[in-house]
Protein backbone atom coordinates (compact mmCIF):
# COMPACT_ATOMS: atom_id res chain seq x y z
CA UNK A 1 0.00 0.00 0.00
CA UNK A 2 2.85 2.39 0.73
CA UNK A 3 5.12 1.61 -2.20
CA UNK A 4 6.28 4.74 -4.01
CA UNK A 5 6.80 5.33 -7.71
CA UNK A 6 10.34 5.07 -9.04
CA UNK A 7 11.03 7.73 -11.65
CA UNK A 8 12.84 7.04 -14.91
CA UNK A 9 16.31 8.48 -15.43
CA UNK A 10 15.21 10.81 -18.19
CA UNK A 11 12.16 12.71 -17.01
CA UNK A 12 11.83 14.78 -20.19
CA UNK A 13 11.13 11.75 -22.37
CA UNK A 14 7.39 11.40 -23.09
CA UNK A 15 4.82 10.14 -25.58
CA UNK A 16 3.12 13.55 -25.40
CA UNK A 17 4.02 16.54 -27.53
CA UNK A 18 6.12 19.07 -25.60
CA UNK A 19 4.77 22.16 -27.33
CA UNK A 20 3.51 24.60 -24.66
CA UNK A 21 5.39 27.75 -23.69
CA UNK A 22 5.25 29.66 -20.39
CA UNK A 23 2.58 31.98 -21.83
CA UNK A 24 0.41 29.02 -22.91
CA UNK A 25 0.62 27.53 -19.42
CA UNK A 26 -0.08 30.88 -17.75
CA UNK A 27 -3.19 31.42 -19.87
CA UNK A 28 -4.36 27.87 -19.17
CA UNK A 29 -4.05 28.59 -15.45
CA UNK A 30 -5.86 31.92 -15.73
CA UNK A 31 -8.55 30.22 -17.82
CA UNK A 32 -9.04 27.66 -15.07
CA UNK A 33 -9.25 30.26 -12.29
CA UNK A 34 -10.96 33.32 -13.77
CA UNK A 35 -14.21 31.66 -14.70
CA UNK A 36 -17.81 32.36 -13.95
CA UNK A 37 -16.66 32.99 -10.37
CA UNK A 38 -15.52 36.48 -11.26
CA UNK A 39 -18.95 37.38 -12.62
CA UNK A 40 -21.07 35.49 -10.09
CA UNK A 41 -19.13 34.83 -6.89
CA UNK A 42 -18.01 38.41 -6.23
CA UNK A 43 -21.60 39.67 -6.09
CA UNK A 44 -22.91 36.78 -4.02
CA UNK A 45 -20.19 36.99 -1.38
CA UNK A 46 -20.39 40.80 -1.20
CA UNK A 47 -24.14 40.79 -0.71
CA UNK A 48 -24.71 37.79 1.52
CA UNK A 49 -21.50 37.04 3.38
CA UNK A 50 -18.96 39.83 3.73
CA UNK A 51 -20.11 43.20 2.36
CA UNK A 52 -17.39 45.37 0.74
CA UNK A 53 -14.86 43.53 2.93
CA UNK A 54 -15.08 40.77 0.29
CA UNK A 55 -11.82 42.43 -0.86
CA UNK A 56 -10.11 41.27 2.35
CA UNK A 57 -11.64 37.80 1.84
CA UNK A 58 -10.07 37.57 -1.61
CA UNK A 59 -6.68 38.74 -0.31
CA UNK A 60 -6.63 36.06 2.43
CA UNK A 61 -7.94 33.38 0.06
CA UNK A 62 -5.30 34.38 -2.50
CA UNK A 63 -2.59 33.99 0.14
CA UNK A 64 -3.93 30.57 1.20
CA UNK A 65 -3.97 29.46 -2.43
CA UNK A 66 -0.46 30.79 -2.92
CA UNK A 67 0.83 28.46 -0.18
CA UNK A 68 -0.74 25.48 -1.96
CA UNK A 69 0.35 26.72 -5.38
CA UNK A 70 4.01 27.06 -4.38
CA UNK A 71 4.00 23.41 -3.29
CA UNK A 72 2.63 22.46 -6.70
CA UNK A 73 5.26 24.67 -8.38
CA UNK A 74 8.17 22.96 -6.62
CA UNK A 75 6.85 19.52 -7.53
CA UNK A 76 5.93 20.44 -11.09
CA UNK A 77 9.49 21.62 -11.68
CA UNK A 78 11.08 18.56 -10.03
CA UNK A 79 8.78 15.94 -11.53
CA UNK A 80 7.73 17.22 -14.97
CA UNK A 81 5.22 14.40 -15.48
CA UNK A 82 1.47 14.65 -15.94
CA UNK A 83 -0.91 13.64 -13.15
CA UNK A 84 -0.63 16.64 -10.85
CA UNK A 85 -1.38 15.88 -7.17
CA UNK A 86 -1.74 12.13 -7.88
CA UNK A 87 1.78 11.92 -9.28
CA UNK A 88 3.34 14.05 -6.51
CA UNK A 89 1.76 11.89 -3.80
CA UNK A 90 2.78 8.68 -5.56
CA UNK A 91 6.42 9.79 -5.72
CA UNK A 92 6.68 10.62 -2.03
CA UNK A 93 3.88 9.24 0.18
CA UNK A 94 2.60 5.97 -1.21
CA UNK A 95 0.41 4.17 -3.71
CA UNK A 96 -2.98 3.91 -2.01
CA UNK A 97 -2.93 7.58 -0.98
CA UNK A 98 -2.04 8.60 -4.50
CA UNK A 99 -4.81 6.47 -5.96
CA UNK A 100 -7.44 7.88 -3.59
CA UNK A 101 -6.39 11.44 -4.39
CA UNK A 102 -6.49 10.80 -8.12
CA UNK A 103 -9.89 9.12 -7.69
CA UNK A 104 -11.33 12.13 -5.83
CA UNK A 105 -9.92 14.77 -8.14
CA UNK A 106 -11.44 12.78 -11.01
CA UNK A 107 -14.96 13.10 -9.64
CA UNK A 108 -14.48 16.78 -8.95
CA UNK A 109 -13.36 17.56 -12.43
CA UNK A 110 -16.41 15.72 -13.77
CA UNK A 111 -18.86 17.53 -11.50
CA UNK A 112 -17.05 20.83 -11.99
CA UNK A 113 -17.11 20.57 -15.77
CA UNK A 114 -20.76 19.59 -15.82
CA UNK A 115 -21.67 22.40 -13.42
CA UNK A 116 -19.95 25.00 -15.57
CA UNK A 117 -21.67 23.69 -18.71
CA UNK A 118 -24.99 23.88 -16.91
CA UNK A 119 -24.31 27.44 -15.72
CA UNK A 120 -23.23 28.35 -19.26
CA UNK A 121 -26.49 27.14 -20.78
CA UNK A 122 -28.52 28.81 -18.03
CA UNK A 123 -26.73 32.09 -18.69
CA UNK A 124 -27.36 31.91 -22.42
CA UNK A 125 -30.95 30.98 -21.69
CA UNK A 126 -31.49 34.04 -19.49
CA UNK A 127 -30.18 36.31 -22.27
CA UNK A 128 -32.97 34.91 -24.50
CA UNK A 129 -35.62 35.21 -21.75
CA UNK A 130 -35.68 31.48 -20.93
CA UNK A 131 -36.98 30.49 -24.37
CA UNK A 132 -34.78 27.38 -24.48
CA UNK A 133 -35.97 26.15 -21.09
CA UNK A 134 -39.64 26.67 -21.94
CA UNK A 135 -39.24 24.96 -25.31
CA UNK A 136 -37.60 21.90 -23.70
CA UNK A 137 -40.23 21.70 -20.96
CA UNK A 138 -43.17 21.82 -23.39
CA UNK A 139 -41.72 19.47 -26.04
CA UNK A 140 -39.65 17.03 -23.98
CA UNK A 141 -41.29 17.24 -20.58
CA UNK A 142 -40.17 17.96 -17.03
CA UNK A 143 -39.83 15.75 -13.97
CA UNK A 144 -39.56 16.24 -10.22
CA UNK A 145 -36.95 13.93 -8.71
CA UNK A 146 -34.43 14.97 -6.03
CA UNK A 147 -30.87 15.36 -7.40
CA UNK A 148 -32.17 15.26 -10.98
CA UNK A 149 -32.73 18.44 -12.96
CA UNK A 150 -36.28 19.58 -13.70
CA UNK A 151 -35.69 19.23 -17.43
CA UNK A 152 -32.92 17.70 -19.59
CA UNK A 153 -30.36 20.34 -20.54
CA UNK A 154 -29.43 19.54 -24.15
CA UNK A 155 -27.49 22.76 -24.61
CA UNK A 156 -25.11 21.99 -21.75
CA UNK A 157 -24.49 18.47 -23.07
CA UNK A 158 -23.90 19.84 -26.57
CA UNK A 159 -21.28 22.41 -25.48
CA UNK A 160 -19.40 19.64 -23.61
CA UNK A 161 -19.37 17.41 -26.70
CA UNK A 162 -18.09 20.26 -28.86
CA UNK A 163 -15.34 21.03 -26.32
CA UNK A 164 -14.41 17.33 -26.19
CA UNK A 165 -14.03 17.28 -29.97
CA UNK A 166 -11.72 20.30 -29.95
CA UNK A 167 -9.57 18.98 -27.11
CA UNK A 168 -8.97 15.65 -28.82
CA UNK A 169 -7.26 17.52 -31.69
CA UNK A 170 -4.17 18.00 -29.52
CA UNK A 171 -2.61 20.32 -26.97
CA UNK A 172 -1.81 23.05 -29.49
CA UNK A 173 -5.46 23.37 -30.60
CA UNK A 174 -6.79 23.42 -27.02
CA UNK A 175 -4.19 26.01 -26.11
CA UNK A 176 -5.05 28.20 -29.11
CA UNK A 177 -8.79 28.06 -28.32
CA UNK A 178 -8.02 28.94 -24.72
CA UNK A 179 -5.96 31.95 -25.92
CA UNK A 180 -8.90 33.29 -27.92
CA UNK A 181 -11.45 32.98 -25.10
CA UNK A 182 -9.00 34.23 -22.46
CA UNK A 183 -8.20 37.28 -24.57
CA UNK A 184 -11.89 38.22 -24.90
CA UNK A 185 -12.48 37.57 -21.21
CA UNK A 186 -9.49 39.70 -20.18
CA UNK A 187 -10.57 42.50 -22.50
CA UNK A 188 -13.99 42.52 -20.85
CA UNK A 189 -12.42 42.54 -17.37
CA UNK A 190 -10.26 45.53 -18.34
CA UNK A 191 -13.35 47.31 -19.64
CA UNK A 192 -15.22 46.59 -16.39
CA UNK A 193 -12.33 47.97 -14.33
CA UNK A 194 -11.91 51.18 -16.36
CA UNK A 195 -15.66 51.88 -16.61
CA UNK A 196 -16.13 50.88 -12.97
CA UNK A 197 -13.49 53.21 -11.60
CA UNK A 198 -15.01 56.07 -13.61
CA UNK A 199 -18.40 55.33 -12.02
CA UNK A 200 -17.04 54.67 -8.52
CA UNK A 201 -18.63 56.51 -5.57
CA UNK A 202 -16.65 56.29 -2.30
CA UNK A 203 -19.84 57.00 -0.32
CA UNK A 204 -20.93 53.41 -1.02
CA UNK A 205 -18.39 52.27 1.59
CA UNK A 206 -19.49 54.87 4.12
CA UNK A 207 -21.22 54.23 7.45
CA UNK A 208 -24.74 55.12 6.27
CA UNK A 209 -24.56 52.25 3.74
CA UNK A 210 -23.48 49.87 6.50
CA UNK A 211 -19.74 50.53 6.50
CA UNK A 212 -16.85 48.57 4.99
CA UNK A 213 -17.21 45.34 6.96
CA UNK A 214 -20.89 45.09 7.96
CA UNK A 215 -20.64 41.41 8.91
CA UNK A 216 -17.46 41.81 10.98
CA UNK A 217 -14.48 39.48 11.07
CA UNK A 218 -16.58 36.30 11.01
CA UNK A 219 -18.14 37.49 7.75
CA UNK A 220 -14.71 38.08 6.25
CA UNK A 221 -13.53 34.59 7.25
CA UNK A 222 -16.71 32.90 5.99
CA UNK A 223 -16.23 34.81 2.74
CA UNK A 224 -12.64 33.57 2.56
CA UNK A 225 -13.79 29.95 2.60
CA UNK A 226 -16.07 30.61 -0.38
CA UNK A 227 -13.52 32.76 -2.24
CA UNK A 228 -10.86 30.08 -1.83
CA UNK A 229 -12.67 27.93 -4.40
CA UNK A 230 -12.28 30.70 -6.96
CA UNK A 231 -8.60 29.79 -7.17
CA UNK A 232 -8.73 26.03 -7.64
CA UNK A 233 -7.90 26.09 -11.35
CA UNK A 234 -4.11 26.32 -11.14
CA UNK A 235 -3.50 22.56 -10.93
CA UNK A 236 -4.21 22.40 -14.67
CA UNK A 237 -0.67 23.81 -15.02
CA UNK A 238 0.78 20.93 -13.02
CA UNK A 239 -1.31 18.44 -15.01
CA UNK A 240 0.06 19.76 -18.32
CA UNK A 241 3.73 19.90 -17.27
CA UNK A 242 4.47 16.89 -19.49
CA UNK A 243 3.52 19.03 -22.47
CA UNK A 244 5.65 22.02 -21.47
CA UNK A 245 8.77 22.72 -23.52
CA UNK A 246 10.87 23.65 -20.51
CA UNK A 247 8.90 22.56 -17.43
CA UNK A 248 11.64 23.34 -14.88
CA UNK A 249 11.29 27.05 -15.65
CA UNK A 250 7.82 27.28 -17.16
CA UNK A 251 5.75 25.54 -14.47
CA UNK A 252 6.77 27.64 -11.42
CA UNK A 253 6.57 30.85 -13.45
CA UNK A 254 3.19 30.05 -14.97
CA UNK A 255 1.76 29.18 -11.55
CA UNK A 256 3.06 32.41 -10.01
CA UNK A 257 1.92 34.64 -12.90
CA UNK A 258 -1.54 33.14 -13.27
CA UNK A 259 -2.26 33.16 -9.54
CA UNK A 260 -1.05 36.74 -9.24
CA UNK A 261 -3.15 37.95 -12.17
CA UNK A 262 -6.25 36.04 -11.04
CA UNK A 263 -6.01 37.39 -7.48
CA UNK A 264 -5.55 40.90 -8.85
CA UNK A 265 -8.57 40.55 -11.10
CA UNK A 266 -10.80 39.25 -8.29
CA UNK A 267 -9.73 41.98 -5.85
CA UNK A 268 -10.11 44.85 -8.35
CA UNK A 269 -13.47 43.63 -9.63
CA UNK A 270 -14.83 43.41 -6.09
CA UNK A 271 -13.53 46.94 -5.37
CA UNK A 272 -15.27 48.27 -8.48
CA UNK A 273 -18.48 46.37 -7.85
CA UNK A 274 -18.95 47.55 -4.27
CA UNK A 275 -18.04 51.13 -5.19
CA UNK A 276 -20.46 51.34 -8.13
CA UNK A 277 -23.63 50.48 -6.21
CA UNK A 278 -24.29 49.97 -2.47
CA UNK A 279 -23.40 46.36 -1.57
CA UNK A 280 -26.79 45.54 -0.02
CA UNK A 281 -28.61 46.30 -3.30
CA UNK A 282 -26.51 43.90 -5.41
CA UNK A 283 -28.27 41.22 -7.44
CA UNK A 284 -26.47 38.00 -6.44
CA UNK A 285 -27.17 36.19 -9.74
CA UNK A 286 -25.75 38.70 -12.20
CA UNK A 287 -24.20 41.40 -10.05
CA UNK A 288 -21.94 43.07 -12.59
CA UNK A 289 -24.41 43.37 -15.45
CA UNK A 290 -27.07 44.57 -13.02
CA UNK A 291 -24.75 47.21 -11.51
CA UNK A 292 -24.03 48.71 -14.92
CA UNK A 293 -27.70 48.56 -15.83
CA UNK A 294 -28.66 50.50 -12.68
CA UNK A 295 -26.10 53.20 -13.41
CA UNK A 296 -27.71 53.70 -16.84
CA UNK A 297 -25.31 51.68 -19.00
CA UNK A 298 -27.57 48.86 -20.13
CA UNK A 299 -25.36 48.09 -23.16
CA UNK A 300 -22.46 47.26 -20.84
CA UNK A 301 -24.51 44.31 -19.63
CA UNK A 302 -24.11 42.61 -23.02
CA UNK A 303 -20.34 42.99 -22.87
CA UNK A 304 -20.31 41.49 -19.39
CA UNK A 305 -22.45 38.59 -20.59
CA UNK A 306 -20.08 37.96 -23.52
CA UNK A 307 -17.11 38.06 -21.16
CA UNK A 308 -18.62 35.63 -18.72
CA UNK A 309 -19.57 33.17 -21.45
CA UNK A 310 -15.96 33.23 -22.71
CA UNK A 311 -14.71 32.83 -19.15
CA UNK A 312 -16.93 29.78 -18.65
CA UNK A 313 -15.57 28.33 -21.90
CA UNK A 314 -12.01 28.57 -20.61
CA UNK A 315 -12.97 26.78 -17.38
CA UNK A 316 -14.62 24.02 -19.41
CA UNK A 317 -11.53 23.66 -21.56
CA UNK A 318 -9.18 23.50 -18.60
CA UNK A 319 -11.38 20.90 -16.86
CA UNK A 320 -11.57 18.73 -19.97
CA UNK A 321 -7.86 19.27 -20.51
CA UNK A 322 -6.59 18.05 -17.16
CA UNK A 323 -9.08 15.27 -16.35
CA UNK A 324 -7.98 12.80 -19.09
CA UNK A 325 -4.33 13.50 -18.25
CA UNK A 326 -4.78 12.51 -14.61
CA UNK A 327 -6.64 9.37 -15.71
CA UNK A 328 -3.82 8.72 -18.19
CA UNK A 329 -1.22 8.99 -15.44
CA UNK A 330 -3.14 6.50 -13.29
CA UNK A 331 -3.62 4.06 -16.18
CA UNK A 332 0.03 4.42 -17.23
CA UNK A 333 1.10 3.29 -13.72
CA UNK A 334 -1.31 0.34 -13.97
CA UNK A 335 -3.62 1.57 -11.19
CA UNK A 336 -6.54 2.23 -13.53
CA UNK A 337 -7.90 0.45 -16.61
CA UNK A 338 -5.17 0.08 -19.22
CA UNK A 339 -7.33 1.35 -22.11
CA UNK A 340 -7.02 4.93 -20.80
CA UNK A 341 -3.25 4.99 -21.24
CA UNK A 342 -3.41 4.93 -25.03
CA UNK A 343 -1.97 8.06 -26.64
CA UNK A 344 -3.05 8.85 -30.20
CA UNK A 345 0.05 8.70 -32.42
CA UNK A 346 -0.84 11.78 -34.47
CA UNK A 347 -2.44 14.21 -32.01
CA UNK A 348 -0.34 12.94 -29.06
CA UNK A 349 -3.17 13.20 -26.51
CA UNK A 350 -4.90 10.43 -24.48
CA UNK A 351 -7.91 10.23 -26.83
CA UNK A 352 -9.79 7.37 -25.13
CA UNK A 353 -9.82 9.21 -21.81
CA UNK A 354 -10.90 12.47 -23.43
CA UNK A 355 -13.82 10.89 -25.29
CA UNK A 356 -15.05 8.67 -22.44
CA UNK A 357 -14.90 11.38 -19.80
CA UNK A 358 -16.29 14.02 -22.16
CA UNK A 359 -19.33 11.78 -22.72
CA UNK A 360 -19.69 11.11 -18.99
CA UNK A 361 -19.60 14.85 -18.27
CA UNK A 362 -22.18 15.52 -20.95
CA UNK A 363 -24.44 12.86 -19.40
CA UNK A 364 -24.03 14.43 -15.94
CA UNK A 365 -24.88 17.86 -17.31
CA UNK A 366 -27.88 16.48 -19.18
CA UNK A 367 -29.81 14.93 -16.31
CA UNK A 368 -28.42 16.05 -12.93
CA UNK A 369 -29.35 19.11 -10.94
CA UNK A 370 -26.01 20.71 -10.34
CA UNK A 371 -27.06 22.98 -7.50
CA UNK A 372 -27.24 19.74 -5.51
CA UNK A 373 -23.89 18.55 -6.84
CA UNK A 374 -21.88 21.75 -6.60
CA UNK A 375 -21.84 21.65 -2.80
CA UNK A 376 -20.00 18.32 -3.16
CA UNK A 377 -17.09 20.04 -4.84
CA UNK A 378 -13.85 21.06 -3.21
CA UNK A 379 -13.28 18.33 -0.63
CA UNK A 380 -11.04 16.42 -3.04
CA UNK A 381 -9.19 19.57 -4.03
CA UNK A 382 -8.50 20.45 -0.40
CA UNK A 383 -7.41 16.89 0.28
CA UNK A 384 -5.06 17.03 -2.69
CA UNK A 385 -3.57 20.32 -1.46
CA UNK A 386 -3.05 18.83 2.00
CA UNK A 387 -1.26 15.77 0.66
CA UNK A 388 0.91 17.76 -1.75
CA UNK A 389 2.01 20.01 1.13
CA UNK A 390 2.82 16.96 3.28
CA UNK A 391 4.67 15.37 0.35
CA UNK A 392 6.88 18.47 0.06
CA UNK A 393 8.02 18.08 3.67
CA UNK A 394 8.62 14.32 3.32
CA UNK A 395 10.51 14.73 0.05
CA UNK A 396 12.69 17.60 1.31
CA UNK A 397 14.07 15.48 4.16
CA UNK A 398 14.59 12.28 2.17
CA UNK A 399 18.08 11.28 1.13
CA UNK A 400 18.70 12.47 -2.37
CA UNK A 401 18.78 9.92 -5.12
CA UNK A 402 21.48 11.14 -7.47
CA UNK A 403 19.75 13.94 -9.37
CA UNK A 404 22.63 14.74 -11.71
CA UNK A 405 21.42 15.39 -15.28
CA UNK A 406 22.93 13.09 -17.93
CA UNK A 407 25.49 14.95 -20.09
CA UNK A 408 24.64 15.28 -23.77
CA UNK A 409 27.55 13.07 -24.86
CA UNK A 410 25.96 10.03 -23.22
CA UNK A 411 27.60 8.02 -20.45
CA UNK A 412 26.62 7.91 -16.77
CA UNK A 413 27.48 10.93 -14.61
CA UNK A 414 29.80 10.22 -11.70
CA UNK A 415 27.94 11.09 -8.49
CA UNK A 416 29.89 13.69 -6.56
CA UNK A 417 30.66 12.72 -2.97
CA UNK A 418 28.41 14.67 -0.55
CA UNK A 419 30.25 16.88 1.85
CA UNK A 420 28.75 17.19 5.33
CA UNK A 421 25.57 15.58 6.72
CA UNK A 422 22.95 14.17 4.35
CA UNK A 423 19.27 15.09 4.22
CA UNK A 424 17.09 13.65 6.96
CA UNK A 425 19.84 13.49 9.59
CA UNK A 426 19.76 15.54 12.79
CA UNK A 427 21.44 18.93 12.57
CA UNK A 428 24.74 18.88 14.47
CA UNK A 429 23.54 21.56 16.90
CA UNK A 430 20.67 19.38 18.11
CA UNK A 431 22.55 16.08 18.44
CA UNK A 432 23.48 16.41 22.12
CA UNK A 433 19.83 17.08 23.11
CA UNK A 434 18.09 14.56 20.85
CA UNK A 435 20.58 11.65 20.95
CA UNK A 436 17.82 9.04 21.19
CA UNK A 437 16.71 10.01 17.65
CA UNK A 438 20.07 9.32 16.01
CA UNK A 439 19.41 5.54 15.85
CA UNK A 440 16.70 5.93 13.21
CA UNK A 441 17.67 5.93 9.56
CA UNK A 442 17.55 9.35 7.81
CA UNK A 443 14.07 10.68 7.08
CA UNK A 444 12.24 8.22 9.34
CA UNK A 445 11.71 10.64 12.24
CA UNK A 446 10.54 13.32 9.82
CA UNK A 447 7.88 11.03 8.36
CA UNK A 448 6.53 10.22 11.82
CA UNK A 449 6.61 13.92 12.72
CA UNK A 450 4.62 14.78 9.59
CA UNK A 451 1.95 12.28 10.63
CA UNK A 452 1.72 13.74 14.16
CA UNK A 453 1.63 17.23 12.62
CA UNK A 454 -1.35 16.23 10.46
CA UNK A 455 -3.15 14.59 13.40
CA UNK A 456 -2.65 17.59 15.70
CA UNK A 457 -3.77 19.92 12.89
CA UNK A 458 -6.98 17.89 12.48
CA UNK A 459 -7.66 17.94 16.23
CA UNK A 460 -6.87 21.66 16.47
CA UNK A 461 -9.18 22.55 13.60
CA UNK A 462 -11.96 20.31 14.95
CA UNK A 463 -11.85 22.16 18.27
CA UNK A 464 -11.84 25.51 16.45
CA UNK A 465 -14.75 24.60 14.16
CA UNK A 466 -16.96 22.48 16.43
CA UNK A 467 -15.78 23.42 19.95
CA UNK A 468 -18.35 26.10 20.74
CA UNK A 469 -21.17 24.89 18.50
CA UNK A 470 -21.57 21.12 18.27
CA UNK A 471 -19.45 19.96 21.20
CA UNK A 472 -20.64 22.65 23.69
CA UNK A 473 -17.27 22.67 25.43
CA UNK A 474 -16.92 24.79 28.58
CA UNK A 475 -14.40 27.60 28.15
CA UNK A 476 -11.61 26.03 30.24
CA UNK A 477 -11.58 22.74 28.30
CA UNK A 478 -11.88 24.60 24.99
CA UNK A 479 -8.77 26.66 25.73
CA UNK A 480 -6.93 23.70 27.26
CA UNK A 481 -7.50 21.58 24.14
CA UNK A 482 -6.46 24.46 21.89
CA UNK A 483 -3.20 24.89 23.82
CA UNK A 484 -2.50 21.13 23.86
CA UNK A 485 -3.05 20.58 20.14
CA UNK A 486 -1.17 23.77 19.20
CA UNK A 487 1.76 22.52 21.28
CA UNK A 488 1.63 19.16 19.52
CA UNK A 489 1.63 20.95 16.18
CA UNK A 490 4.55 23.24 17.08
CA UNK A 491 6.60 20.41 18.58
CA UNK A 492 6.21 18.32 15.40
CA UNK A 493 7.28 21.38 13.39
CA UNK A 494 10.37 21.90 15.59
CA UNK A 495 11.25 18.23 15.36
CA UNK A 496 11.13 18.37 11.55
CA UNK A 497 13.14 21.59 11.55
CA UNK A 498 15.88 19.98 13.65
CA UNK A 499 16.83 17.77 10.68
CA UNK A 500 18.97 18.53 7.65
CA UNK A 501 17.20 19.41 4.40
CA UNK A 502 18.28 18.52 0.89
CA UNK A 503 20.65 21.09 -0.51
CA UNK A 504 18.96 23.40 -2.97
CA UNK A 505 18.37 21.81 -6.33
CA UNK A 506 18.57 23.57 -9.70
CA UNK A 507 14.79 23.80 -9.85
CA UNK A 508 12.38 26.05 -7.93
CA UNK A 509 12.02 25.41 -4.18
CA UNK A 510 9.35 26.75 -1.84
CA UNK A 511 10.87 28.96 0.88
CA UNK A 512 10.50 28.42 4.65
CA UNK A 513 10.04 24.65 4.70
CA UNK A 514 8.57 23.15 6.94
CA UNK A 515 6.66 26.28 8.00
CA UNK A 516 4.89 27.20 4.74
CA UNK A 517 3.63 23.67 3.88
CA UNK A 518 2.51 23.25 7.51
CA UNK A 519 0.50 26.48 7.34
CA UNK A 520 -1.03 25.26 4.10
CA UNK A 521 -2.01 21.96 5.77
CA UNK A 522 -3.75 23.75 8.68
CA UNK A 523 -5.66 26.11 6.37
CA UNK A 524 -6.83 23.28 4.12
CA UNK A 525 -7.95 21.07 7.00
CA UNK A 526 -9.81 24.03 8.55
CA UNK A 527 -11.67 24.67 5.29
CA UNK A 528 -12.42 20.95 4.90
CA UNK A 529 -14.09 20.81 8.31
CA UNK A 530 -16.20 23.84 7.36
CA UNK A 531 -17.90 21.85 4.56
CA UNK A 532 -21.40 20.44 4.95
CA UNK A 533 -21.99 16.89 6.19
CA UNK A 534 -23.60 15.94 2.84
CA UNK A 535 -20.22 16.58 1.22
CA UNK A 536 -18.53 14.22 3.66
CA UNK A 537 -21.20 11.60 2.98
CA UNK A 538 -20.65 11.85 -0.78
CA UNK A 539 -16.91 11.70 -0.12
CA UNK A 540 -17.23 8.50 1.95
CA UNK A 541 -19.38 6.74 -0.67
CA UNK A 542 -17.01 7.68 -3.50
CA UNK A 543 -14.00 6.61 -1.37
CA UNK A 544 -15.54 3.16 -0.83
CA UNK A 545 -16.05 2.82 -4.59
CA UNK A 546 -12.44 3.85 -5.09
CA UNK A 547 -11.18 1.25 -2.62
CA UNK A 548 -13.15 -1.42 -4.51
CA UNK A 549 -11.48 -0.36 -7.78
CA UNK A 550 -8.06 -0.26 -6.13
CA UNK A 551 -8.24 -3.63 -4.38
CA UNK A 552 -10.07 -5.26 -7.27
CA UNK A 553 -7.80 -3.96 -10.05
CA UNK A 554 -5.11 -1.41 -9.21
CA UNK A 555 -3.12 -3.26 -6.56
CA UNK A 556 -2.67 -6.31 -8.86
CA UNK A 557 -1.82 -4.43 -12.06
CA UNK A 558 0.45 -1.73 -10.59
CA UNK A 559 3.75 -1.31 -12.48
CA UNK A 560 5.58 -1.12 -9.15
Return the pLDDT at 401. Answer: 62
Return the pLDDT at 472. Answer: 81
Return the pLDDT at 373. Answer: 67
Q: Which of 556, 540, 222, 232 lies closest to 388, judged by CA?
A: 232
Return the pLDDT at 409. Answer: 45
Return the pLDDT at 380. Answer: 86
Return the pLDDT at 166. Answer: 93
What HEC string does 108-137 produce? HHHHHHHHHHHHHHHHHHHHCCCHHHHHHH
Residue 368 φ/ψ, nearest 5 degrees? -90, 150
β-pair partners for 499: 426
What HEC string does 444-504 produce? HHHHHHHHHHHHHHHHHHHHHHHCCCCCCCCHHHHHHHHHHHHHHHHHHHHHHHCECCCCC
Name the burial class of residue 555, with classes exposed (0-12), middle (13-18) and buried (19+) by CB atoms within 10 angstroms of its CB. Answer: middle
Return the pLDDT at 74. Answer: 93
Could you give the CA distance from residue 475 to residue 191 in angstroms, rounded to a whole number?
52
CA distances for 287 relative to 130, 272, 298, 450, angstroms? 19, 11, 13, 44
Burial 144-160 (b: 16+ CB within 10 A, else e): eeeeebebbbbbbbebb
pLDDT tens track, the chain, 560 positions: 888 888 877 888 888 888 899 999 999 999 999 887 787 788 888 888 888 999 999 999 999 899 999 999 999 988 888 888 999 999 988 999 999 999 999 988 898 888 888 888 887 887 777 788 888 888 877 777 777 877 888 999 999 999 999 999 988 899 999 999 999 999 999 999 999 999 999 898 888 888 888 888 888 888 888 888 888 889 899 998 999 999 999 999 999 999 999 999 999 999 999 999 898 888 877 788 888 888 888 888 888 888 888 999 999 999 999 999 999 999 999 999 899 999 998 888 899 999 999 999 999 989 887 666 666 677 888 899 999 999 999 988 887 664 444 444 444 444 444 555 678 888 888 888 888 887 788 888 898 999 999 999 999 999 988 887 887 888 888 999 999 999 999 999 999 999 988 887 788 999 888 999 999 999 999 988 888 788 888 889 999 999 999 999 988 989 88
The answer to whether the CB of 16 falls within 8 A of the CB of 243 is yes
3-state secondary structure of 426: strand
Burial 286-308 (b: 16+ CB within 10 A, else e): bbbbbbbbeeeeeebbebbbebb
| Cα distance from N-terminal residue to C-terminal residue, the chain | 11
Q: For each of the domains in the chain, give its residue range(s) and CATH number, in order of start.
A: 19-396 (1.20.1740.10), 425-556 (no CATH)
Could you give the CA distance from residue 102 to residue 242 in angstroms, rounded to a whole number?
17
- Cβ neighbours of residue 360 closer than 8 Å, sequence gap 6 or more: 110
The answer to whether the CB of 332 falls within 8 A of the CB of 341 is yes
Could you give the CA distance from residue 110 to residue 527 in angstroms, rounded to a whole number?
22
Amino acid sequence: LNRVKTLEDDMMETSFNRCLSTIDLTLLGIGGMVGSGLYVLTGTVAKEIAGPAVIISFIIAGFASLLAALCYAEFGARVPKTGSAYMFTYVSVGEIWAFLIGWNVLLEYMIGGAAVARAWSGYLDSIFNHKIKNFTETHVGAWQVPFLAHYPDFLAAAILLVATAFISFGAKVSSWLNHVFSAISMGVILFILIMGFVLAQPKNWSAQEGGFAPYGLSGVMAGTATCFYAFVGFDVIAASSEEARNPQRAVPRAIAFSLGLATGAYILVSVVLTLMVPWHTLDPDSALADAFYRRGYAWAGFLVAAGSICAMNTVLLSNLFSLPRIVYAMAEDGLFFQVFSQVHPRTQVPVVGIVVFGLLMALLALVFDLEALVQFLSIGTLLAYTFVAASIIVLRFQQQKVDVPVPAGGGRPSPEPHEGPSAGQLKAAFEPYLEFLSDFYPGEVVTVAVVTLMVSAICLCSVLVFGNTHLHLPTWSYSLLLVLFSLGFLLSLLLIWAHEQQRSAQTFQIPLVPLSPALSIVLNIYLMLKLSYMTWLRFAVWLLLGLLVYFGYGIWHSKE
